[in-house]
Every structure is written in C-alpha cells, then in structure tokens.
Amino acid sequence: MKLVGRLAALAELVPEGSRVADIGTDHAYLPIELVQGHIVTSAIAGDVNLGPWKAAKEHVDALGLTHRISVRLGDGITVLSPGEVDVVIIAGMGGQTIIEILTGKPEVTKSLKRLILQPMVAANTVRRWLNENEWDVVDERLVQEEGRLYEIVVAEPGGATSCEPIMYDIGEKLWRDKSELLSVHIEQLIAQTKRVLQEMSLSDNAKKSQKYHEYTERLQQLEAKQRCL
C-alpha cells in the first residue's frame, strides 16, 4: 500500500528515525506507511473509538507488524507517557478537537519535539493556540485531494511571536513561501467569510453583533491579501 495525497504529505513531514504516534489513527494507514517505508522503526497508533481501534489492530496484525506498531485505545494523547515519542500526528479532526487533545495531557505535549496537525476546520484556532502556547510553525502545506483543500501545520517548541491576526487564517508560512495553492486557499477563505456574512445579514441583531463586525474586517483583510498575490 502506497499512500497518496494528504496522508502521503503527512508522512513526508515525519523526520526519519523519530519516535512517532498517530492519534486518531483510524485504519493505521499512516503508522503502517511510516514503518514499511523505513522512516521509523516503530510507532504508536491511538484511537478513542472501538471501531477504528479494531480496524487499526486487524490491519496491523494482518501485515505482521504487531511488534512494531502499538495500537492503543484511548482519548487523545492520554495513551502516551511523557517522553515516549518525539512526534505526534493529529489529522482529520476539527481544530478544537486537536486543541483539546493537546491540552488533555500537558506533560506529554511539553515533551514533544514536533506536532504535525491537519485540522479539517478551524485551522486559524489551531495556529493561534500554537502561538499562544509557544510553538513555532516551522512548515505548512496545502494539499488538494478529490477537489478538497487540506491544511497541514507543523510546529516545534519555540516562543510566542507577534503575527498579523489574518495570518492565523491564511498561514504565515504558506503566505511567505507563496505556496502553489495559496490563491485557491485565500479564495476559499473569502467565499466562506462571505457565506457567514450573507447568513448574518438576514437578521438585524446579527448585523449589529461583534461577530458581524469581525467577519466584515476579516473579509476586507483577506481581499487586501488577495490583491497582493
């Protein structure tokens, strides 16, 4: 099995020889790829739900990788001990869930050297959390798969830095590197912001709200960035 698209991009961001855990692993495709591709010698695959945990276990057993991949049932990084791994991958979940997982066992999070995160929504919340909790974003990728654009954020321990708030939405690294899919990404952010404003504009109360004001500003800032591309 060779991974493509989003999962392949996540695998590429794992440093060779690191100790890695894939949290919310589902079928354990990622840890299997990493071990079979000799990127890592062993890995931990965690999932909170019985169905995905069973699927991961069966898959790992069927490939004879039981001694190399430890499949654990439990919530987020609570399945890990501090210092047990260097890298945690959390992919395919909402940004808020990712943050809850990272705050669920701070002694583990503090012991990590790299986070590889792929939020399905609210990537801006994840970037803000990383900055406020002294993680530096060292890499960011945009991956298009089956018509959908995915954001991957890679962070390592660092210090809080000041950042233009709109960059939490766009991704400072994506902006600076002039990522190939950046224009599509900004277009999608603009469309999403317009949709929220459109819905809110149906109510006089909503139009007077702080949220409406924030979204109006967000739209102006995104359009200004789009003009700079």
Ligand X SMILES: C[S@@+](CC[C@H](N)C(=O)[O-])C[C@H]1O[C@@H](n2cnc3c(N)ncnc32)[C@H](O)[C@@H]1O
- Select from 31, 52, 95, 171 the one that contacts ligand X (CB under 6 A): 52
Cβ neighbours for 88, distance < 8 A, ≥ 6 positions apart = 20, 21, 23, 77, 80, 112, 114, 115, 116
- Distance in angstroms (rounded) separating the CA atoms of residues 158 and 79: 25
Q: Smaller CB distance to ligand X: residue 28 or 186?
A: 28
- Select from 8, 48, 181, 200 the one that contacts ligand X (CB under 6 A): 48
Q: Cβ distance 56 to 47 under 8 Å?
A: yes
Least CB distance from residue 46 to ligand X, whole Å? 6
- Distance in angstroms (rounded) separating the CA atoms of residues 30 and 8: 8
Q: Smaller CB distance to ligand X: residue 144 or 216?
A: 144
Least CB distance from residue 49 to ligand X, whole Å? 4
Q: Smaller CB distance to ligand X: residue 25 or 221?
A: 25
CA of residue 56 relative to chain centroid, distance: 20
What b/e sequence results for 33-50 when a residue is b if at least 16 CB atoms lie within 10 Å of its CB, and e otherwise? bbbeeebbeebbbbbbee
- Distance in angstroms (rounded) separating the CA atoms of residues 149 and 191: 14
- Distance in angstroms (rounded) separating the CA atoms of residues 170 and 172: 6
Least CB distance from residue 67 to ligand X, whole Å? 23
- Select from 31, 46, 119, 171 the one that contacts ligand X (CB under 6 A): 46
Which residue bears the tokens 């695998």? 11
Q: Helix %, strand %, coil % for the chain, to 5? A: 45, 20, 30
Least CB distance from residue 28 to ligand X, whole Å? 9
Which residue bears the tokens 């654009």? 149
Query: Could you say whether residue 33 binds ligand X (CB under 6 A)?
Result: no
| CA angle centred on 89, ends 124 and 78, rounded to 5° | 100
Q: Smaller CB distance to ligand X: residue 65 or 91?
A: 91
By CB under 6 A, the count of residues binding ligand X is 16
Of the candidate spans 45-53, 136-144, 146-154, 165-173, the one that interacts with ligand X by CB under 6 A turns out to be: 45-53
Site string for ligand X, 68-107 (x = CB under 6 A): -------xx--------------xxx---x---x------
Query: Could you say whether residue 119 binds ligand X (CB under 6 A)?
Result: no
Q: Smaller CB distance to ligand X: residue 25 or 124?
A: 25
Of the candidate spans 47-55, 184-192, 201-209, 221-229, the one that interacts with ligand X by CB under 6 A turns out to be: 47-55
Summarize as ranges the residues that interact with ligand X (CB under 6 A): 23-26, 46-49, 52, 75-76, 91-93, 97, 101
